[in-house]
Structure formats: C-alpha cells, structure tokens
Amino acid sequence: MSSSNKLKISLQEILSATNGFAEANIVGIGGYGRVYRGESRQHGDLAVKRLILSPHGQGEHEYGMEVSLLSKYKHENLVSLIGFCGDNGEKILVYKYEPNGSLDKALRRKDLSWMRRLEICVGAATGLRYLHNETGSGHGVIHRDIKSSNILLDENWNAKISDFGLSKIALTNSADSVVFTIPCGTRGYVDPQILNGGITQKSDVYSFGVVLYEVLFSKLVANPEFLSDNCFTINIAKKHYKEKTLHMMIDPDLRNEMDSKSLSTFSTIAYQCLKERTDDRPTMSLVVEALEKALYYEQRSKLPRAMQGSLWADFQINEEPQSEFDALEVETLFRATTIPKKDTTEGGRRSSELGKVYLVDWRRANSTESMLMNVKMPLPNMIDIRYIWSLHREEQVVVVHGSWMF
C-alpha cells in the first residue's frame, strides 16, 4: 500500500464531502456497505464507498485489492480511483462519480437506444480486454465479478468497469492461465466451470456473455427459482438463440431499431461466451472485435440508402488506410480548391460555408471505402453523399465534412 500513499484522503475531508455520511447522500447499498455521493472542492463529484468489515476482518482483502489494482492500472474503461481512507478503523474508497449510474439500472430506460447499448458493450469489453491482456505487467487480471451492476456509465455513457475486490492476478496474461481459489461471485453470472477447479480469463468471458444478453433483453439474469417476467435464465437465452426466436425476448421498440446483421453478430458472440467448455469460448480480444463489427453494421444501417449499397459493399471496419492528409494539408488543399461563393455549380458547394472539411485525392486511394477509413468519425455523422459522388467523378477530389472535425 506504500506506493499508494499519495491517494490517501483524510476522514475529515470525506465527512465534509458527504455531509457526515448523510442518508440523503446514499446512492447505493450492497453487502459490502453503502455508497454515498459527495462533493469536494479539490476532486469534484465523488462516489464514496464505505465498507462494512466483519468481526473476522472479512473485507480487508477486498479493500486492499481494490486500492492496489486501481492505483496501478489506468484505462478509460475502468473506474477512476481518486483515493482511499483507513482512518479510525474505516475502510473507505473514493471514486469519480459517474452520473448515469450502473448499467443494470440504465437497461430499464426506454430511451437507451440499440446504438448506445452497443457502444456501452464495446467500452466494457475493451476495459476487460485491457485487464486480461494489456496491463503491460506480463500478467493478467481476472475480475471475477463481472455483472451489469459493476459497469458504470459516465456523463457521455462511456462504460467503466468497477468493483475489483474479488479480482485475482494470473501469473501470465494467457487466457489459459489458471488461478486456484475459493469459488465466489454473483449467482447467475458465475461460470459453472469454476466448481471443477480454478478460474481463468474465460470465467470473466462467461460472465460478460450474461451481461450481453441482459443488454439485449433489457432484463436481468435470475436464478431459476426466482424467475419472473422481468428476468431470464441462461438456459432460456441459449434456447431462444438456438431456435432463432430471440425476437420473442427483445422489446419490440428496441427490435425495430436493430439492423439484422448487427443483431446476428451481437447475439452470436454472446452465445459463444456462454459455451460450457472454457476452450470453446472466445477471448476478450475476439469479443471486442465482434462487438465493434456489430456496432459498425448498426452505424452503416443509419446511412442514406444509397451509401449502404454500392459505396459500402466491400467496406471492412479493420481495413488499413491507404493515404491520409494531416489537418494542415487539408486546410491548404481546401483553400487551393475552393471556388468563390458566387459560383452556383455543384463544385461551388465546397466554399467555406461547409466549415471544417476533409479532402482526399482520389488518385491516392484504392477505393472510396479505403479513403473514408481515414476520416475516423462515427458513420451516421459523416457526410452528404452528393459531395462524394459529384467531386470524385468530376475532379478526383473527395470532400468529407463534419462540423466537429479537427
């Protein structure tokens, strides 16, 4: 813990931020204790987790693991640990407050679109991939308690994995590296194979597959003995997937938003995560790739119909860019090709009224698709198709514009 000393926060500061742990400030209650919302002049909006320790010291290990991991590993899809406090026998963890709460609660919202759900899943999967493979330490982190209530959402709906108290360090970052430990976690999400001895990264993959079906069904997983219309079991999810009747479990309004390829790609990777044999489950790297592909299909479906056809027929989300101009080159080329505003021809629409634009010489790209890969913006916000076709046909220059570029 000595390396984390700079994260220590005094109990007095926490009491001031939470108004003395006032009940009005409680935003969450669990077996671990309570979470309070607080406000600090130095740190801004806070989420303060005040742990309840058992007489036998249970909770000490979880507290230490949380501080150890989050003070060492930083990623945009992990919660931000601001500090901790051990004064007067307290065990308190202080995080950045995430205003959109946890995913389990967000799933109840009718306005949580399929596009946004996909973006949340990609973010959470990316955070988990980081823990498994990308910490740069030569070993991996197995979370052991992946569930929708442990995925928080910031003001922009970016996913943040939280609650690392049960996490374990694997000796290598291999998906096959086994850690032998007492089985634990949350029923419904726990990999059934852990009862056969040991956990691996694939145990997290199983739990994440459960979360994916929760996102798809807008319902939480349940134990069979407590089954109701507001929840589902893993066997039910698998049954509907195999019988191609998933539509029966999806809210009709949400289903109407979905591109069929997006749904198929998403549900397939979710099903693969729940395979009984751990060796048959994908790695988190493969999960991220599949979810990004599902998101791409959904983005493409929102483009004008003309762009969904011939223009994007061979477009691949992982295609490497063929050529790219930096911002200065773009501005220079734009000025060089601008036609006076008084000109009313098709080309005249390239005047500065477009705002910031992106131009690519058609002769330096193998295809429109590979050229557009350079733009790096969400597809639905990308372009007016008239500029693409008229310009690359007539002058071999393509303009892609968006008000927020550069």
Residue-range domains of the chain with CATH: 2-96 (3.30.200.20), 103-302 (1.10.510.10), 327-401 (no CATH)
| Dist. CA 244–CA 250, nearest whole Å | 12
Q: What is the mean pLDDT of residues 196-223?
A: 90
CA 107 to chain centre: 14
| Residue 77 · residue 158 · CB < 8 Å | yes
Q: How far apart are CA 21 and CA 370, in angstroms?
A: 55
Tokens for 284? 């988190």
Mean pLDDT of 222-236: 76
pLDDT for the residue numbered 149: 92
Return the higher-pLDDT residue of 105 and 5: 105
The answer to whether the beta carbons of residues 387 and 349 sit under 8 Å apart is yes
Which region among 80-94, 176-190, 222-236, 331-345 has the lowest average model confidence (pLDDT)? 331-345
Q: Which of 263, 210, 266, 259 is nearest to 236 (CA)?
A: 210
Q: Which residues are part of the catalytic machinery? A: 145
**Cα–Cα dist 379/398, whole Å:** 16
The answer to whether residues 145 and 185 touch, using CB atoms and an 8 Å cutoff, is yes
Confidence of residue 89 (pLDDT cuts 50, 70, 90): confident
Instruction: State yes or no: 238 annotated in a binding site.
Output: no
Greater confidence (397 vs 176) lies with 176
Q: What is the arithmetic mean of pLDDT over 146-163?
A: 95
CA atoms of 211 and 128, how far apart (whole Å): 13
Is the pTM of the predicted complex or chain greater than 0.85? no
β-sheet bridge partners, residue 160: 152
pLDDT at position 168 is: 85
Q: How far apart are CA 106 and CA 28, in angstroms?
A: 14
Output the pLDDT for position 370: 47
Lowest mean pLDDT among 11-25, 84-98, 387-401: 387-401
- Per-residue model confidence (pLDDT) at position 177: 57
φ/ψ of 218, rounded to 5, equals 60, 30
Do strands 231-232 and 220-221 pair parallel, antiparallel, or not at all (unpaired)?
Answer: parallel
What is the CA 39 to chain-centroid distance, rounded? 26
N-to-C CA span, the chain: 42
Smallest Cα–Cα separation from 234: which of 288, 287, 191? 191
Q: Where are the alpha helices (DSSP H) in 82-200?
A: 103-106, 114-133
pLDDT surpasses 50 at 225? yes
For the range 161-165, what are the long-range contacts, defined as Cβ-Cβ under 8 Å and sequence gap of 24 or more? 161/77, 161/78, 161/79, 161/124, 161/127, 161/128, 161/131, 162/78, 162/79, 162/95, 163/66, 164/65, 164/66, 164/69, 164/70, 165/32, 165/59, 165/61, 165/62, 165/63, 165/65, 165/66
Tell me what the mean pLDDT of segment 264-272 comes to.
97
397 pLDDT exceeds 50? no
The DSSP-derived string for 30-95 is ETTEEEEEEEETTTEEEEEEEEPPPTT-TTHHHHHHHHHHHHH---TTB--EEEEE-GGG--EEEE
- If you average pLDDT over every residue of the chain, what do you get? 75
Say if residue 103's pLDDT is above 90: yes
275-292 pLDDT tens trace: 999 999 999 999 999 999
Phi, psi of 37 (to 5 degrees): -85, 135
Q: Is the pLDDT of residue 367 over 60?
A: no
Do 124 and 130 touch, CB atoms closer than 8 A? no
